[in-house]
Amino acid sequence: MAEKKWVYVFNELDQASKYVGGAWDDVRGLLGGKGANLFEMYRIGLPVPPFFTVTTEACNAYLAAGEKFPEGMWEQELEALKKIEEASGKKFGDPSNPLLVSCRSGAKFSMPGMMDTVLNIGLNDQTVEGMIKLTENPRFVYDSYRRLIMMFGSVVLGLPDEAFEEPMDEFKAHKGAKADTDLTAEDLKELSEIFKKVVREQKGFDFPQDPIEQLRLATEAVFKSWNGKRARDYRRAENIPDNLGTAVNIVTMVFGNMGWDSGTGVAFTRNPSTGERKVYGDYLLNAQGEDVVAGIRNTEPIEKMVEKLPEAYHQFMQICELLEKHYKDMQDMEFTIERGKLWMLQTRNGKRTARAAVKIAVDMVHEGLIDRKEAIKRVTPKQVDALLHPQFDEEGKKKAKKEGRFFASGVNASPGAAVGRVYFDADTAERMAKEEGQDVIMVRPFTKPDDVHGMLAAKGILTSEGGATSHAAVVARQFGVPCVVGASAVRINLEKREMTANGIVVKEGEWISVDGGSGEVYLGKLDLTVPKLEEQKDLLTLLQWADEI
């Protein structure tokens, strides 16, 4: 009997499809959403770095066996690694020409920010030296190394993010650096050593120098994260079954942080907030993907990329059009540009607000992409209800401005109006909403997957950092929570439990009003009005089609 296949390489989509009987939904079940779409992008000829995927069946077998790899899986993973080495012309752990990989999870259903990613696996003290010789860019190499130790420490070894963030902030302050990009190669080398010391002090052992060991531990961490608190909370909220498991995607690293001809971005083929037919997203030059999604650096809108990297920009716009036609739905994509060359790292059907869902469904019928029946299926009763949610009326906002109650503005990430009391962490926000029955606005510098329970309990969300595709924005849109991100005038003091903007101080427990449609935040409580059904033209069209069918 042939050995069970736990691992599929980038050109083996046909084998995977045959194994599950050919239905695309079952391919997604086996390879996960992210993996299946990587295979599909490779199949239609898009630039995807060489990769392999460990199946969801392997995850379930691992968890069922009391956290042990199923027989043959690890050997297959090492075989697949050899195929990636051949395709990329690099060798894992070889100091003279090292292959580096990322390890990403991917369940059947997209769970934004719920599962953990580790970049730059394969770097160690030896391969760092080799990479410096190859790239002649020590700053880039040490930046990649400190990121690996930081991500590996928090994702794989389970250390709190603060264990790395606090020493990093102290180090930046000591060096007089405002942003990460202000640190020199020597600074980043020093930071890598500080991070290694953090691992040693907190875990009692050294950061693993053997790349194969890094890969093994990272694969296990993805499997284990399926049962983590964040993933379970999210599955409860979305009614996703617990027995699906997650796949593991091991992808050749491409680097957006190689200099100012490199970059990374996240974009939607249409505006996920309004549904407008125009590519919408953020990018950063000289950065890795996590910087955009985590919202740590404030990003540039995607249309500005044409000024700096015109060739990659035009190629990306063509790919957006191709993917939307191929999947017949609005896509949410991640890409990286390494020294001017564009690479596609992910595509999935994009999360969207209720307003965008209705507009996109109606527009796609008019464009001939889908039929009326499909359009109706794409809008849920919950979304129709959300469209009739309360808003702030314009007169009330004008009056508040006159009274000096305007507080700050940021990116209008998720529409709707919310009035509530300010709380500065997810646990307090959840407790006040559930136990005290308060209307809560959760305020954070930027949100992380650990904050999801607070976001679900809140009436509105405000962050001082991040862009329209950051974690806070994506989760808020999906759950219909009004949200303003990147309100950069806002300074949050977590120790004093207060925030300030333009000389105004707001303390924890005080009332504010958040307008996710305009990106504005006001002091105190603004009055809410309910929108009229007859003003919602796209919704009326859709409801009329539903009647006819």
At residue 179, the pLDDT reads 83
- 221 plus 365 within the same structural domain: no
| Tokens encoding 167 | 């020493």
Is the per-residue pLDDT at 1 higher than 60? no
Give helix 211-225 / helix 73-88 axis angle, nearest 10°.
Answer: 120
Residue range 137-159, pLDDT digits in tens: 899 899 999 999 999 999 899 99
CATH for 198 = 1.20.80.30
- Mean pLDDT over residues 206-221, rounded? 96
- 229 plus 153 within the same structural domain: no
Reported confidence tier of residue 234, pLDDT bands at 50, 70, 90:
confident
DSSP state of 207: P
- 141 plus 168 within the same structural domain: yes
* Domain tally, the chain: 5
CATH for 284 = 3.30.470.20
| Tokens encoding 318 | 């063509």
Reported confidence tier of residue 418, pLDDT bands at 50, 70, 90:
very high
Q: Is residue 478 assigned to a domain?
A: yes
The boundaries of the domain holding residue 42 are: 1-122+215-253
Side chain identity, residue 385? D
- Mean pLDDT over residues 441-452, rounded? 93
Q: Is residue 385 assigned to a domain?
A: no
Is the per-residue pLDDT at 72 higher than 80? yes
Q: How far is CA 305 from CA 371, 376, 539, in A?
A: 34, 36, 34
- 374 plus 425 within the same structural domain: no
Reported confidence tier of residue 113, pLDDT bands at 50, 70, 90:
low
Beta pairing class for 331-338 and 263-268:
antiparallel
d(CA 113, CA 105): 10
Does residue 331 sit in helix, strand or coil? strand
Beta pairing class for 440-444 and 460-463:
parallel
- 288 plus 401 within the same structural domain: no
CATH for 456 = 3.50.30.10
- 45 plus 99 within the same structural domain: yes
Residue 160: how many other CB atoms lie within 10 Å: 12
At residue 114, the pLDDT reads 60
Residue range 357-388, pLDDT digits in tens: 999 999 999 999 999 999 999 999 888 878 88
- 182 plus 273 within the same structural domain: no
d(CA 129, CA 404): 57
Reported confidence tier of residue 519, pLDDT bands at 50, 70, 90:
very high
At residue 85, the pLDDT reads 97
Q: Is residue 423 assigned to a domain?
A: yes
- 396 plus 457 within the same structural domain: yes
Residue range 380-415, pLDDT digits in tens: 988 887 888 788 988 899 999 999 999 999 999 999
- 157 plus 51 within the same structural domain: no
Residue range 252-290, pLDDT digits in tens: 999 888 889 999 999 999 999 899 999 999 999 988 877
Q: Which residue has the tokens 């991917």?
A: 106
- 175 plus 277 within the same structural domain: no
Domain closes at, from 223, 253, 283: 253
